[in-house]
Amino acid sequence: MGEARDGVKVKRVVFVTVGTTCFDALVKVADCQEVKDELYRRGYTDLLIQMGRGSYLPAKSTGDDGSLAVDYFTFSSSIVDHLRSASLVISHAGSGSIFETLQLGKPLIVVVNEDLMDNHQSELAEELAERKHLYCSRPLTLHQTIASMDLNSLVPYTPGDATPVAKLINRFLGFPEES
């Protein structure tokens, strides 16, 4: 369960991010007892929530009483450091957050915001889930996803490459091929 030899518990942080959006449904469900218990059961020690423009405030906790330590903040100039130190990332379906996380090789659960009007975001999350790069979930099914996830079955994401586009643009404009 993550205990090192000298008895000090290894920190395993779950980082929840909603980017620049307002996604109270995700913050609420991440803060609910069911999900927190499930995360604790799976061996995580800390829950850090980046809540963006939402209005729901999670309950902070030090986690001394044998439960998850919970903390939150609204924004930070760059969440890269938080992503790097996380053992699991739970994110809204924004492409920026998704690819930042995948490029760092972190396990990712994407939660689709069902309150959004034109939900094209779910297309990307579902496609990447089909390719087994991440798990896709809805707020109400998050605890089930956490309970049943097998992070070892996730396929690492190979970062994309803009060179094919550049090649076509250069060729179209008549620039000589790169050597």
Partner 1 sequence: MGKNSRFCFSNLSSNLPITCLITFTTIFLLRVLNVIYRTGKPLGKRVSPQWPLSTLIVLGSGGHTAEMINLLLVLRKERFTPRFYIAAATDNMSLQKARVVENSLADSSETKGLSAEFMQIYRSREVGQSYVTSVWTTLVAIAHALWLMIKIRPQVVLCNGPGTCIPLCVIAFFFKVVGIRWSSIFYVESIARVKRLSLSGLLLYKLRIADQFFVQWPQLQRQYPRAHYVGCLM
In whole angstroms, how close is the CB of 61 to partner 1 at the nearest point? 31
**Comparison of 19 and 54: residue with beta carbon closer to partner 1:** 19
In whole angstroms, how close is the CB of 46 to partner 1 at the nearest point? 27
- Could you tell me which residues come within 8 angstroms of residue 28 by beta carbon, excluding any fewer than 6 positions away? 56, 139
- Angle in degrees, CA 60, 73, 109, rounded to 5: 90
150: contact with partner 1 by CB under 8 A:
no
In whole angstroms, how close is the CB of 148 to partner 1 at the nearest point? 25
Tell the burial category of 17 from Cβ atoms under 10 Å away from its Cβ (0-12, 13-18, 19+). buried
Q: Residue 75 — left, alpha, or beta (φ > 0 → left; ψ -120 to 50 → alpha)?
A: beta
**Comparison of 96 and 105: residue with beta carbon closer to partner 1:** 96
CA distance 140 to 81: 28
155: contact with partner 1 by CB under 8 A:
no
Site for partner 1 in 70-129 (CB under 8 A): 94-96, 99, 103, 120-121, 123-124, 126-127
Of the listed pieces 43-51, 52-60, 68-76, 162-170, which binds partner 1 according to CB under 8 A? 162-170
Residues in contact with partner 1 by CB under 8 A are: 19-20, 94-96, 99, 103, 120-121, 123-124, 126-127, 159-166, 168-175, 178
